[in-house]
Amino acid sequence: MFGMGHIVHGTCERAAVSIDPREVVGWFDRVRRDLPWRRPEVSAWQILVSEFMLQQTPVARVEPIWRDWIARWPTPSATAAAGAADVLRAWGKLGYPRRAKRLHECATVIAAEHGDVVPEDVEVLLTLPGVGSYTARAIACFAYQQPVPVVDTNVRRVVARAVHGLADAGNPSAKRDEADVAALLPDDDTAPRFSAGLMELGALVCTARNPKCGVCPLSHCAWRTAGFPPSTAPVKKVQKYAGTDRQVRGRLMDVLRASDAPVTRAQLDVAWLTDTAQRDRALDSLLVDGLVEQTEDGRFALAGEGANAGAGAPSRGARGRMQPLRSRADNSEGADAGAGAPSRGARGRMQPLRSRADNSEG
């Protein structure tokens, strides 16, 4: 069952070593981190919240904000009843606040259309705002104990090394990657723990840099057997943060989160004095994403707090000109959305036509 076999990976067929689920599950049971969203009393909604927050954000930053969030809004209906601005403030410095907006939209749909209960079917989960392939399967697996493949960056790395003998997983392919992991799933009730264990193994031991092979629980690893051949992929440039549109967006959001009333353009301008064109671009993208609104008198506020903005009123761009409006809809999840992917606005919210220059923000 766990011996040698042939698995098609990429364009080449390679002899593959399988992973013994018993080794992964046994190791996970011994060393698993005591994360609050893994505890048995946690609801499917609370697991969903953790999955939204953990997209592109380290566990250490997520945990305190997740605890505060769940204490304040333990159910979808509680989150849906909150104002969008309150949700954006509670998201704080987790970064990529479009996730917070989508989480609020997701809560609204679950409360209104699913009886305040998170769906357990993957296909139904995929219809929710902000829920993509990974998040849908993670909820089905970790909240409802379903034997479905859950594939993140850590899992892809473990499988690439242990099964295919490759230093890294290369470009992602949802169909191929999910098939790889599905072939490894045990056919008993340990499948969810196996999935969690693969993720933990990639996060703690089989890391991208300096893997701790000496403490790896796997008795068979194709990469180790091959002598740890180095990666042949081009070295990825480390994404900088300082000076990016993402940083500027974060500075502007900081000003708005700190105020309980709309702010003037002058108050926003002082948040970034280095490059006024970049600041304009960042503010325009926040307007397009529906994270920021502009009032009739030209001030700016978090979504839902543009007190003077009448229904259907046109929006001004960052340079003060009036712009036509349109509604936007997108159901991809934050972590999986490609550069330039559209952002789902609040249902029926009219937004400026300006194209987005940045797909993320601090």
- In what helix (H) or strand (E) does residue 12 lie, and over which residues does it extend? strand 12-17
CA atoms within 13 Å, Cβ hemisphere of 178: 12
* Per-residue DSSP letter, 241: -
Q: CA 338, CA 203: separation in Å to the nearest integer?
A: 23
Q: DSSP secondary-structure letter at 229?
A: P
The token duo for 230 is 């180095």
Q: Which residues are catalytic?
A: 51
Q: How does DSSP classify residue 361? A: -
Q: In angstroms, rounded to a whole number, what is the distance separating the alpha carbons of residues 283 and 277?
A: 10
Residue 62: C-alpha distances to residues 17, 35, 41, 152, 274 (Å) = 35, 10, 19, 17, 30
Strands (E), 176-231: none
Find the angle CA(108)-CA(67)-CA(291) to the nearest 5 degrees: 45
Closest of 150, 151, 154, 134 to residue 209, by C-alpha:
154
